[in-house]
Amino acid sequence: MFIERLALRNFRAYEGTVDISFPRSRAKSRNVYLLGGENGAGKTSLLLALTLGLYGRGSEGLAYSAGRRRHEQAYVWTLEESFNRAAAARGEDSMSVTVGFEAHGDRFDVQREWWFDGPSFIE
């Protein structure tokens, strides 16, 4: 499986829509991407977005917040903490993650969108 793109909307530090491409290497047998940046630049946010985008609620045990809350609350808490603050202040009520990848010669997009409904998120 090769991840080709990651599209974020109102996810953590990424306000609005951000589309990140991961081009294939010439070797085509493996790709390695290095993420670099200052503290707070969004490196961990990208990894969390990939996790939530691919696994959704199944990422509960994988999400960084799992150790901070009871296991069954970790997913919802992670979503609440991941909603971009500026978007929330503007009255927007949703965020999304789309992961585009190639596997066994076929291309797939997995899109997850979450809506803020009062005190919590719904998927």
Q: What is the pLDDT of residues 20-59, one digit of tens each?
A: 998 877 776 666 788 888 998 889 899 999 999 999 888 8
Strand order in the sheet with 14-21: 14-21, 2-11, 94-103, 106-117, 120-122
Rounded to 5°, angle at Cα 34 from 42 and 64: 45
**Kind of pairing between the strands at 14-21 and 106-117:** unpaired
Question: pLDDT averaged over the chain?
Answer: 85
Rounded Cα distance, 96 and 102, in Å: 20
Rounded Cα distance, 14 and 18, in Å: 7
Of all residues in the chain, the percent with pLDDT exceeding 90 is 49
